[in-house]
């Protein structure tokens, strides 16, 4: 599982601070999460192959999370894309994008498929044979979802020496990997546990931005491998969290601790601050394993 931060700042873009966009690579999928202004340029800078992006997840309709989308949709057309593009976003985005396309008479030649979200409960919105994606309802000034990306349980691993010793035909290897007991060549039932090892633990990534401190998300993100939680403010500006419906670094860390996640990544920094080390030190007073996101930074979780 690999996460590339294209932008991790709030509000207006500037030379060294892009609004929110990320690429998550998980089990051969390349998911684009949010698409703030400048995302195309950052995709180029980070050498992401445009054609690999087939699914885009938009958290909410504040401009710093989707103003780059119409540009990207249009560029895909110019690049003569033919493969489907799926967009998962709050209800309303389809109307915005289609109006922009209509007024510029620039329809896509590839299928553009919108999955409009309006549920206030967590729901499964994407699934393939290896990955599931759920929404994480967040509390913000407008309707907002975070997203939980979860690898399905990996297959059990064969111990090839024990399998050979047990005289099991190759035709049964698939069943063994799936956890079944099988009969060997002599008709004896072989217990799965005897010839296989536990699978590699599956990973998960929870993206939570933008949101006020909200413990309701804890059961959804419980025990996840990596949590990206917005930390717009430092402690000294905590009073701003309620009117703006954002969080401090310490609040993000409290959620990480209560949800028992392995790693917390902070981001969505307000551009009022000059450095970000203080976000880390404040969060670390609550939760130890804290990383700072930075535009252009890649995190590997293998």
Report, as residue numbers or ranges, the catalytic residues: 64
Of residues 195 and 255, the one with the C-beta less far from Zn ion: 255
User: CA–CA separation, 268 vs 297, rounded Å?
Assistant: 14
Nearest residue to Zn ion by CB is: 62
Q: Which of these ranges, 84-92, 145-153, 159-167, 209-217, lies near Zn ion under the rule CB under 5 A?
A: 209-217
Q: Which of these ranges, 150-158, 163-171, 207-215, 294-302, lies near Zn ion under the rule CB under 5 A?
A: 207-215
Kindly report the number of other CB atoms within 10 A of residue 157's CB atom.
Answer: 13
Of residues 64 and 151, the one with the C-beta less far from Zn ion: 64
Tokens of 156: 């059990």
In whole angstroms, the minimum distance from the beta carbon of 73 to Zn ion comes to 20
Of residues 62 and 150, the one with the C-beta less far from Zn ion: 62
Question: Site for Zn ion (CB under 5 A): how many residues?
Answer: 4
Is 9 a known ligand-binding residue? no
Tokens of 96: 């915005």
> Do residues 32 and 57 touch, judged by C-beta distance below 8 A?
yes
Residue 210 sits in the site that holds Zn ion (CB under 5 A):
yes
User: CA–CA separation, 229 vs 283, rounded Å?
Assistant: 11
Residues 6-25 that bind Zn ion (CB under 5 A): 10
Of residues 140 and 203, the one with the C-beta less far from Zn ion: 140
Residue 282 sits in the site that holds Zn ion (CB under 5 A):
no
Is 268 a known ligand-binding residue? yes
Degrees, nearest 5: CA angle 81-83-85: 95
Residues 27-66 that bind Zn ion (CB under 5 A): 62, 64
Binding residue ranges for Zn(2+):
60, 62, 64-65, 140, 210, 268
**Contact positions toward Zn ion, by CB under 5 A?**
10, 62, 64, 210
């Amino acid at each position: 599982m690999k996460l590339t931060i294209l932008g991790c700042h709030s509000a207006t873009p500037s030379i060294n601070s892009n609004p929110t966009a990320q690429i998550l690579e998980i089990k051969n999928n390349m998911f684009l999460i949010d698409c703030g202004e400048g995302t195309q340029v950052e995709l180029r800078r980070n050498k992401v192959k445009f054609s690999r992006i087939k699914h885009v997840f938009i958290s909410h309709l504040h401009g710093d999370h989707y103003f780059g989308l119409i540009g990207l949709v249009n560029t895909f057309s110019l690049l003569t894309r033919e493969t489907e593009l799926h967009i998962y976003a709050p209800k309303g985005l389809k109307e915005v994008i289609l109006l922009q396309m209509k007024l510029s008479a620039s329809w896509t030649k590839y299928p553009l498929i919108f999955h409009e979200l309006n549920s206030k409960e967590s729901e499964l919105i994407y699934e393939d044979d290896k990955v599931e994606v759920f929404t994480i309802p967040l509390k913000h000034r407008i309707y907002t979802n975070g997203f939980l990306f979860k690898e399905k349980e990996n297959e059990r691993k064969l111990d090839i020496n024990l399998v050979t010793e047990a005289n099991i035909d190759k035709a049964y290897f698939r069943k063994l990997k799936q956890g079944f007991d099988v009969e060997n060549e002599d008709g004896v039932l072989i217990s799965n546990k005897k010839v296989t090892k536990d699978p590699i633990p599956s990973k998960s990534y929870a993206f939570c931005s933008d949101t006020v401190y909200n413990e309701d998300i804890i059961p959804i993100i419980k025990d996840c491998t990596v949590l990206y939680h917005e930390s717009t403010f430092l402690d000294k500006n905590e009073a701003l969290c309620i009117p703006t419906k954002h969080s401090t670094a310490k609040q993000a860390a409290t959620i990480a601790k209560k949800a028992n996640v392995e790693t917390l990544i902070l981001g969505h920094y307000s551009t009022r601050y000059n450095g970000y080390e203080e976000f880390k030190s404040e969060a670390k007073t609550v939760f130890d394993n804290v990383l700072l996101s930075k535009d252009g930074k890649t995190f590997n979780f293998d």
